[in-house]
Structure 1
């Protein structure tokens, strides 16, 4: 099955994703969520941002995390290759002070932008871009001491490196296939260290109580 063009794949994915709730369990209208579960896990504090810091969300989707960072007073840039994702983001968050939503490929954007205090990716571009290319590009755009933090599903045992990720379509259509990169936490630590990052930390956050059992891999590293 051939690899799908990223724009087509992520536009299809956007139509399947539910909208973020109007408020979370604490009644907040914006919040940061690293996991695939609502009201679960740590928040924006993992980014260790200075007041008014500049932060990039790689693969921002419908913009909820980037909007929260802007609400905190940060200069937040959210990028995504999907026009459908960004339309949804603009409809809900457009006009928020401090928030800039840009349609762009992660690597192309990183090669032409000003430095950031932090870069984040929540089930986003870090999962779906070759780390041998992306990790050095991110480090080049982080200010000294800046943080890269990303989250994704932990790898399936024995299935490491470049894998196929399937985006379903209608019953009479084959799924769309994109590449993703799955590694064990120790391998992410080694990769980040090899590209000059320091203070690398990894954790697999368990799923909340309930029928779901798949946790979330969260990786932090400093430039």
Structure 2
């Protein structure tokens, strides 16, 4: 756990803060892809007002802060303490928004809260063994709740189900769309969709976006 935290602390130290305003002039927004101002936004999650939302691997909290501004009650977790400090410094003034330092599977195991939405954008879902994580997410979701996440698609020449080792302490689960569908269905999720969102015209790599319901 210490090695994992240290690895993500090094990552956090090198990250550039999200810009203050997007192309539309908004100060908060949800961005599912690796490209600015691109992708479906919060519409993927449905109505937000009054819903209880958990983000796994929230980083500096920019995506979660947007959901709080549209009426959701939000909790964000990240294993790196630095990320929590940055998130609280930037977004701590927003009502209904809480940040915690925690590893995803431990948080889900230790807490009995239920959530209407659990999501992860290039976050903990990509870096946690799905056989451990997915049953815990399913258990913490309310009936009909939404689970959604995104990450880069696996390389075209990658073997199915491969976990790529990075920075010694961090593993990444580069599952394909079909693999995610099978994994989610195996632990009781339904209405599962998994697709690659096409990149902007100037880019080559899309974004794998997955959505399922409890």
TM-score of the superposed pair, with normalisation by structure 1: 0.91
Alignment counterpart, residue 70 of structure 1, candidates 63, 68, 71:
68
Is residue 26 of structure 2 the alignment partner of residue 28 of structure 1?
Answer: yes
SS of residue paired to 1:5: helix
Conserved? CA contact 1:32–1:43, under 8 Å: yes
Structure 1 residues 160 and 84: CA distance shift in structure 2, 3 A: farther
For residue 171 of structure 1, what is the aligned residue in structure 2? none
Matches within 5 A, 1:49-128: 49-111=47-109, 112-128=111-127
Q: Unaligned regions of 5+ residues in structure 1, if any?
A: 167-174
For residue 161 of structure 2, what is the aligned residue in structure 1? 161
The size of the alignment, in residue pairs, is 212
TM-score of the superposed pair, with normalisation by structure 2: 0.94
Q: Distance in 2 between matches of 1:75 and 1:89?
A: 16
More helix by share: 2
Structure 1 residues 94 and 176: CA distance shift in structure 2, 3 A: farther
Structure with greater contact order relative to length (CA < 8 Å, sep ≥ 6): 1
Deviation at 1:164, TM superposition (A): 2.6
Deviation at 1:24, TM superposition (A): 0.6
Q: Distance in 2 between matches of 1:178 and 1:4?
A: 11
Is residue 176 of structure 2 the alignment partner of residue 207 of structure 1?
Answer: no
Q: Distance in 2 between matches of 1:6 and 1:108?
A: 13
Structure 1 segments of 4+ aligned residues over 4 angstroms from their partners: none
Q: Unaligned regions of 5+ residues in structure 2, if any?
A: none
For residue 142 of structure 1, what is the aligned residue in structure 2? 141
